[in-house]
Amino acid sequence: MLSRWFKFKQLRHFAISGAVVLAVAGCASMPGGSGRSSSSGQPLGHLVVATPDEDHDLMAQLLTGEMALTRTDLKAASAAYGRAAVLSDDPKVAEQAAALAIAVRDTGAAQAAITRWQALGGKPAPLAQARAQLALGQGDTDEALRQLQILVGTGDPDAWRQFGRVLVGSRDAAQAARLLEAVATPQRLPADPQAWMAMSELGDKLGRHAYARQIAEAAVKRFGTAETYAWLGQMKYHDGDKAGAKALFDKAMAKDPKNPHLRLAYATLLGQGGDYAEAARLLDSGPQDSDTYAMRAALAARANDTKTIGRLYSQLQRSPDDVRQGSAYLLGQLAEMLDKKEEALKWYDQVADDDDHAFDADLRSAVLLQDLGRSAEAHEQLAQMQTDYLDQPAQLRRAYEVDAELYMNEQQYAQAERAFTRALQVAPDDPALLYGRGLAYAEAGQTDQAVNDFHRLLELKPDDTDASNALGYTLADANRDLPEAERLIQAARAARPDDPAIQDSWGWLQYRLGHLDQAEKALRGAWTAHKDADVGVHLGEVLWKQGRQEDARRVFDEVRKIDPQSSSLHDTLKRLNP
């Protein structure tokens, strides 16, 4: 992205071309008069201002360039700034003209802007950076190398950062890697460990792992800082040398034991290796900040360690104000894990609008409101979010989706379908949304619409097991197209043979086909594996049809304990025992 350094308040530094000519009428003697000048004309009527045409008006060109940038029309912006660079004596205008011309790959304009920039006193380092970028764009590796050597040789404190920017922006990674190895040598790199680590990391990203390792090892020998040990440790870990990585991190920790970022990096490495207990132990000691608390919570949640989660929640509530305020979202999550829903709501409400988790906090609040029996408030909150995030498609889609899911939980299937449809207007053919709306249609008894959505989903994802199962079950439940239903559910069974939901679909299909014994066997297996209300209702109906009403009633009683409000159970009992 191009730098937007220019501010219009700086226009006062630019001289406007053109001359102001004041033409005042000479004194004319009135016939027979005293020779006094005439006062009958208006003085401003004799004022003539010569204004430049637009092509020679610096202000107009700068305004045109800035307006083009707001439209991300880089070609128009480059043309306007190129004209402005000719008119202006400010080197920054020429610098911006050069950057834009390089971005749009206009070699002639870039060369002209760089020449003008140099004539106006541009500094050697940024000039060399621009020339190197231009040479890279033209594929001139030799000239790029020469300019990069000039750049790092200027002694400019920002030279190596500018060097890195040139290579990161290269369209040819192999070319950039060769230049990195040629210029960023141990002999030439500055006495700054950060620069060495940055070049090592860049080499790793460009696929020059041997170079990256060489620079990292040299940095450890030369500087021996905690950060250099840690970076080399990360490289060894990714090379599979976990013992070597741990030894280097131990040295890093010995040099700077209270560094929270270092502890986080080491704990992350331990966690990636599956040593969660050691990672947690490392983070438990020493100074704490929002990041260490967040990782400690993640480790405790992974281990399902409720005791540690409770201890973290108490510690965070007593932490300094800045840590506590910056951890409001984490506090809400911990409160949820501890089933403190009201407290979680209060914490989510304290998440700042500019916090990265603000959107997620609002979503979680809506879910909690429904859990607390305040569904109307939940939907009101989501409606407000749909307004607030109208110009952010990803967030808007998610707000509609959660709204639909809450309606599904409430068995308000028509409202769920409308919410899913709005989400699909934001993200057409989104597989998750098609699946959700298909379920809403199916639950509402709108089989044709459900089948259409599931068919469309399978066109997009032919091997989607959930879609195959959902379509197969929907057809079986509607007692139509049973051969297609059998084919679909068989495919789902082959992919996930032990899935209780798929076993339920297969059992229900067998019931529709009149194979009661096979239906009972499949449904009994699904019911044993997962006590789901709908599976129980299906099993009960099959038992009833087999003439085993007492067995069926026992299953129905279990269903009532699981879901006292089950509409499926109510409808089935009404049909079986009118």
Cβ atoms of residues 467 and 452 within 8 Å: no
Cβ count within 10 A of residue 372: 14
How far is 451 from 260, CA to CA, in rounded Å? Answer: 54
Residue bearing the bigger pLDDT, 397 or 6: 397
How far is 96 from 538, CA to CA, in rounded Å? Answer: 71
Q: Is residue 282 part of a domain?
A: no
Which domain, by its residues, includes 31? 1-120
Burial of 229 from C-beta contacts in 10 A (0-12 / 13-18 / 19+)? buried
What local confidence, expressed as pLDDT, does residue 52 receive?
53
Residues 155 and 195 in one domain: yes
Residue 175: pLDDT over 90: yes
Cβ atoms of residues 145 and 178 within 8 Å: no
How far is 85 from 53, CA to CA, in rounded Å? Answer: 16
Structure tokens belonging to residue 493: 């069974």
Q: How remote is the C-alpha of 171 from its chain's centroid?
A: 24
How far is 566 from 108, CA to CA, in rounded Å? Answer: 74
How far is 412 from 512, CA to CA, in rounded Å? Answer: 27
**Domains: count for the chain:** 3
Q: Which band of pLDDT confidence, cut at 50, 70 and 90, is reported for residue 143?
A: very high
- Cα separation values, 349 from 55, 324, 361, 365, Å: 54, 14, 8, 8
Residues 187 and 80 in one domain: no
Q: Is residue 462 part of a domain?
A: no
Q: Which band of pLDDT confidence, cut at 50, 70 and 90, is reported for residue 53?
A: low
What local confidence, expressed as pLDDT, does residue 14 receive?
31
Mean pLDDT in residue range 170-199? 94
- Cα separation values, 518 from 488, 525, 556, Å: 18, 11, 20
Helix (H, G, I), strand (E, B) or coil at 41: coil
| Triad 7, 9, 13: Cα angle to 5° | 105
Burial of 461 from C-beta contacts in 10 A (0-12 / 13-18 / 19+)? middle
Q: Is residue 528 part of a domain?
A: yes
What local confidence, expressed as pLDDT, does residue 186 receive?
95
Dihedral angle, C-alpha 196, 201, 203, 207, nearest 10 °: 160
Cβ atoms of residues 381 and 403 within 8 Å: no
Q: Is residue 84 part of a domain?
A: yes
Q: Is residue 504 part of a domain?
A: yes
- Give the domain CATH number at 567: 1.25.40.10
Q: Is residue 273 part of a domain?
A: no
DSSP for residue 318:
T
Q: Which band of pLDDT confidence, cut at 50, 70 and 90, is reported for residue 269?
A: confident
What local confidence, expressed as pLDDT, does residue 23 receive?
29
Helix (H, G, I), strand (E, B) or coil at 234: helix
Q: Is 189 left (phi over 0), alpha (psi -120 to 50) or beta?
A: beta
Q: 165-174, 195-204, 255-264, 481-490: which range is least confident on average?
A: 255-264
What local confidence, expressed as pLDDT, does residue 567 receive?
87
Q: Is 224 left (phi over 0), alpha (psi -120 to 50) or beta?
A: left
Residue 49: pLDDT over 50: no
In tens, the pLDDT along 392-412 reads 999 999 999 999 999 999 999
Residue 346: pLDDT over 70: yes
- Give the domain CATH number at 205: 1.25.40
Q: Which band of pLDDT confidence, cut at 50, 70 and 90, is reported for residue 1?
A: very low
Residues 102 and 81 in one domain: yes
Q: Is residue 179 part of a domain?
A: yes
Residues 134 and 215 in one domain: yes
Q: Which band of pLDDT confidence, cut at 50, 70 and 90, is reported for residue 424?
A: very high
Residue 374: pLDDT over 60: yes
Residue 40: pLDDT over 70: no
Q: Please report, in angstroms and rounded to a whole number, the separation of the first and last CA atoms in the chain.
A: 71
Residue 9: pLDDT over 90: no
Q: Is residue 111 part of a domain?
A: yes
Residues 111 and 128 in one domain: no
What local confidence, expressed as pLDDT, does residue 304 receive?
86
Among 223, 251, 285, the domain boundary falls at: 223
What local confidence, expressed as pLDDT, does residue 577 receive?
81
Residues 85 and 135 in one domain: no
Residue 263: pLDDT over 90: no
Residues 106 and 132 in one domain: no
Arithmetic mean of pLDDT over the chain: 88
What local confidence, expressed as pLDDT, does residue 286 receive?
77
Residue 48: pLDDT over 60: no
Residues 2 and 116 in one domain: yes
| Triad 226, 152, 111: Cα angle to 5° | 140
Q: Which band of pLDDT confidence, cut at 50, 70 and 90, is reported for residue 55?
A: low
In tens, the pLDDT along 445-496 reads 999 999 999 999 999 999 999 999 999 999 999 999 999 999 999 999 999 9
Among 73, 95, 120, the domain boundary falls at: 120
Among 188, 223, 258, the domain boundary falls at: 223
Helix (H, G, I), strand (E, B) or coil at 21: strand
Residues 57 and 68 in one domain: yes
In tens, the pLDDT along 278-312 reads 888 888 877 888 888 998 898 888 888 899 999 99
Residues 218 and 127 in one domain: yes
Q: What share of the chain has pLDDT > 70, as a percent? A: 90
How far is 89 from 76, CA to CA, in rounded Å? Answer: 21
Residues 142 and 115 in one domain: no
Residues 523 and 576 in one domain: yes
What local confidence, expressed as pLDDT, does residue 6 receive?
30
Give the list of residues 6+ apart from residue 507 with CB closer than 8 angstroms, or none.
518, 519, 520, 521, 522, 523, 526, 538, 539, 542
What local confidence, expressed as pLDDT, does residue 382 receive?
97
Residue 419: pLDDT over 80: yes
